[in-house]
Amino acid sequence: MATLRIPTPMRGFTGNQAEVTAPGATVREVLNNLDARHPGIGGRVFDERGAVRRYVNVFLNDEDIRALNGLDTPVKDADRITLIPAMAGG
């Protein structure tokens, strides 16, 4: 199972856990399984079309999935997925 790093604003969905695990062969499957295990977090990650929201960055082992194969990027059990919501302000 991949390990997911959960940002502070989303930890309410994971029982305040900073890291959780979820199975899946692709980033999409892991994130869908994350939502199945922690209902509601998917609404913070995905938009109504099933794409990653514009203001959420998803990294696989420190690589932005946008530079890889997006949600279809393959995931191995030892991989680490990090969710990072964009910050606004100035």
For residues 24-30, give the mean pLDDT: 98
The answer, yes or no, to whether residue 90 has pLDDT greater than 70, is: no
pLDDT score of 27: 98
**pTM of the full structure:** 0.93
Per-residue pLDDT tens digits for 59-73? 999 999 999 999 999
DSSP the chain: -EEEEPPGGGGGGGTT-SEEEE--SBHHHHHHHHHHHSTTHHHHHB-TTSSBPTTEEEEETTEEGGGTTGGG-B--TT-EEEEEEPP---
